[in-house]
Each structure stands twice: as structure tokens, then as C-alpha cells.
Amino acid sequence: MNEIKRKILLAEDDSSFGELLKNYLELNNFDAHWFINGIEAFKGFHKNPYDICLLDVMMPEMNGFQLADEIKRVNPDMPLLFLTAKSLREDMLTAYKCGADDYIIKPFDSELLIFKINAILKRSNGTAVTPSNSTKFVFGKYSLDSNLQLLTGPQTVRQLSSRENDLLKLLCQYKNNLLPRDLALKKIWGSDDYFNGRSMDVYITKIRKYLKDDSSIEIINIHGKGYRLNTNVIKAL
């Protein structure tokens, strides 16, 4: 069985260093996605789930501190590690105020970086948005068996359609975090055009009705960004 690689978002505007670091991370069994500036990194953050973000500070259009703030607004639990030449105490304090888990000053020991990444991932213990290979989920009074496409509630057992099943599974995988709209559309409908978007809205309405017997569960529409399945109890089996 192939090991699931942890996914890293890398924001670095130095093209030579960025490519070198991306290759090094991949040699150490990570799936690294490299973006050349903060704007592109934030777009990428919305399109894919990540386990950790490595951020440079000095980048055009959106610097690393601004990017960290935006990432934390979407997912407060996302681990952040800054890689930067800025060594002033004020910069370090700003990074930690943005929610940094660690701050490494360039140049740095590449082996030490891998140890720090693994330590942060171990501490985070899967709180970031990282869809798993699980096929069964329990949330509130409901359970979903995505292999059988069965949603079991307090009073009903419902056979879901393929798209209902795929959409609810994605919502469960992203648990109390943002499920990006374009990501869901591309995964389930194949494209994020207007008509597919309207179709997905209809399916969201259906799923809300299926979950109506548990008032602690809600699917929130985050305008222009996507949806979030809110519940106090949700776990993969």
C-alpha cells in the first residue's frame, strides 16, 4: 500500500530557491505545491487541502504576514512555518501573532527543516484540512457510509445518489472548515462553470433537508468561497 504523502503549500518568490526547496521536500516524501507570490499561494490554498504552509515573508502583491492572516481566517488550525531572511525581533513577533508554529531564518539547515515540519505535523494531529481515505463518518446523530452511499439518521436510512454521496463525503472530510466551492465542483462535476454551480446549490439544499432532524448540524454558505459543515461531533471511522 502506498504511503499517503503530507501536502505542503510553499510560498516563495525566489524562483531558484523555491524550485530547490520544492524538490528537496519531494525527495523527503512530501507533496509540495510551490507558488511564486502570496496572491497565487492564497488561490492555491482555496483549491487544495494542505497539511502545513511554508511562507516567505518578503513577497510581492501579498507578503507572508498578510497571507498568514488570510489563511488563518479560512482555517484557524492550519499549521504555519515561516522561512525568511528577516531576522529582526519585531518580525518574529509579528509572525507568531499571525499564528506561526515556527520561524526559521535563512540560510538554514535543510535537514533541520524536515525535523521541524514533522514535529509541527505531529503536534497538529490532523487538525488541518486534510481529507483522508476514510469511507465512514459519524457526525451528530448521523452516519455516512460512502462506499454504500448510505446516510443513517435517527429515524431514517437514506440511499444517496452518487453526487449527494460525494458532496456529503467532501463536507465531512473538511469537517468544521471551509470546503472551497471550486474544488467541490471540479472534483464532482468536472468543472466550476455557472450551470454546475447552480446544480451544486440544489444538492446542498437537498442535503440540508436530509440532516434536518439534528439541530446541532448546519451547512453554512460562505459567500463566494464555499460551504462549511458545522457540527460539534464529527469523526472518520
Q: Is residue 212 part of a domain?
A: yes
Asked if 108 and 177 sit in the same domain, the reply is no
Q: Is residue 223 part of a domain?
A: yes
Report the pLDDT value the prediction gives residue 158, as an integer from 0 to 100. 95
Report the pLDDT value the prediction gives residue 192, as an integer from 0 to 100. 82
Asked if 10 and 120 sit in the same domain, the reply is yes
Asked if 115 and 168 sit in the same domain, the reply is no
Give the count of domains, the chain.
Answer: 2
Asked if 161 and 219 sit in the same domain, the reply is yes
First to last CA, the chain: 19
Q: Is residue 1 part of a domain?
A: no
The answer to whether the beta carbons of residues 130 and 51 sit under 8 Å apart is yes
Domain boundary among 124, 159, 189: 124
Range of the domain at 87: 6-124
Domain boundary among 124, 154, 176: 124
CB neighbourhood size of 19 (10 A):
12
Tens digit of pLDDT at every position of the chain (237 positions): 345 678 999 999 999 999 999 999 999 999 999 999 999 999 888 877 888 999 999 998 899 999 999 888 877 788 999 999 988 999 999 999 999 999 999 988 889 999 999 999 887 654 444 455 578 888 889 999 999 999 999 889 999 999 999 999 999 888 777 888 888 898 899 888 889 999 999 999 999 999 999 888 999 998 878 898 987 654 555
The answer to whether the beta carbons of residues 113 and 190 sit under 8 Å apart is no
Q: Is residue 83 part of a domain?
A: yes
Asked if 28 and 101 sit in the same domain, the reply is yes
Report the pLDDT value the prediction gives residue 180, as an integer from 0 to 100. 86
d(CA 161, CA 206): 11
Q: Is residue 131 part of a domain?
A: no
Q: Is residue 129 part of a domain?
A: no
d(CA 10, CA 41): 8
Q: What is the CATH number of the domain that holds 163?
A: 1.10.10.10
Report the pLDDT value the prediction gives residue 76, as an integer from 0 to 100. 79
Report the pLDDT value the prediction gives residue 11, as an integer from 0 to 100. 96
Domain boundary among 124, 150, 176: 124
Report the pLDDT value the prediction gives residue 38, as an integer from 0 to 100. 93
Q: Say whether pTM exceeds 0.85.
A: no
Report the pLDDT value the prediction gives residue 2, as an integer from 0 to 100. 45
The identity of residue 213, as a single letter, is D
